[in-house]
Amino acid sequence: MKKLLTASALLLATTSLASAEGTLQLFNWGNYTSPELLAKFEAETGIKVTVTDYDSNDAALAKVEAGGSVFDLVVPSANYVPIWVEKDLIVPLDNSKLANKGNIAPEWQDVAWDKGRTHTIPWQWGSTGIAVNTKVYGGDINTSAVFLEVPEELKGKINVVPEMNDVVNLALWYVGGEPCTEDTEVLKKARDVLVAAKPDWISMDYGATEKLSNNDWAASVNWNGSTMRARLANPDVKYGYPKEGFPLFMDSVALLKDAQNVEEAYKFLDFIMIPENAAMISSFARYANGIAGSDAFMPEDMKTAPEVMIPEEFKASGHFLPTCSPKAQEYMTAIWTELQK
């Protein structure tokens, strides 16, 4: 699907319309942008959108921080928004150019990571959990033990998505710690359990949707929307919510300080806050969004999907990740670096 998405974006980028007003460069997570949404936006505005993919918050941040990027909009996760602000890489939004900003649902209008929604517009939100092919493994899937103490049936068949914050924090919760801890003893426990488990993993890869669908993998640490897409293709796939603790996320769109296509960017930001258009984003990637009124346009299968509707018994275990201190981030990066060896 990443290749399909890239092809769609390139097609849009190379299509010439007589009424074209400009272009827009969107830097977004892979397999996360609806081609239909982009086609509708271009048809209505004449603006051609090129999408460039990334597979982690750190990769996106490093790319832009290095300078010289051509991107106008980026889609960081909640706990990374303050970092982008602190590094002066994104700018406050001009609300006079965002007629639809009032469509942001009340619970997402004033969030801890972007007070007053000064810098970002909601894209999608969801959770990180465990996707399992229940035909291969019939045990408890609502635990991080599935990838940290891999059951015999899943050894050599389980993937871990390469997102440092999700993976390390799942391990921290599993050993009794908390995100962003500076407690070196707890961090050592998390590191040890990850390093010990890695030989039982088949890969640390991003392509869970396709490989779970095709039975290439029997399980993966994965995001809920990706898992729903896999289940629709392969009904044996189920999504588990680790009872020890699991991350919630909201990815939001921000305007880069060095954006070249600013007016086009504002048109896109306003466009995605129209309920029908926000629903198109969700319908493609299968995550909830933060726009009030979009439910009326959502696919029926999302309204009751177990990957989208967190079961009551696991709601207390889901947490938005905080923005870590530099020291905590350094410790987490050291664990991640060791895990990559």
Residue 21 is predicted with a pLDDT of: 58
Distance in angstroms (rounded) separating the CA atoms of residues 4 and 39: 14
Residue 130 is predicted with a pLDDT of: 98
Residue 16 is predicted with a pLDDT of: 33
CATH superfamily of 127-247+311-340: Periplasmic binding protein-like II (3.40.190.10)
Residue 3: φ, ψ to 5° = -65, -40
Q: Tell me the percentage of the chain whose pLDDT exceeds 70.
A: 94
**Mean local confidence (pLDDT), 302-313:** 95
Q: Do domains 2-125+249-302 and 127-247+311-340 have the same CATH topology?
A: yes
As a whole number, the mean pLDDT across the chain is 93
Read off the pLDDT band of 8 (50, 70, 90): very low
**Mean local confidence (pLDDT), 62-89:** 97
Q: Which amino acid is at 302?
A: M
Strand partners, 246: 318
Using alpha carbons, list the distances in angstroms from residue 165 to 170, 229, 279, 318: 8, 23, 27, 14
Strand partners, 24: 49
2-125+249-302: CATH topology? D-Maltodextrin-Binding Protein; domain 2 (3.40.190)
Q: Is the pLDDT of residue 11 over 80?
A: no
Distance in angstroms (rounded) separating the CA atoms of residues 165 and 188: 16
Q: Indicate the domain borders of the chain.
A: 2-125+249-302, 127-247+311-340
Q: What is the pLDDT of residues 258-299, one digit of tens each?
A: 999 999 999 999 999 999 999 999 999 999 999 999 999 999
Residue 255: φ, ψ to 5° = -95, 120
**Mean local confidence (pLDDT), 39-60:** 96
Q: Is the pTM of the predicted complex or chain greater than 0.95?
A: no
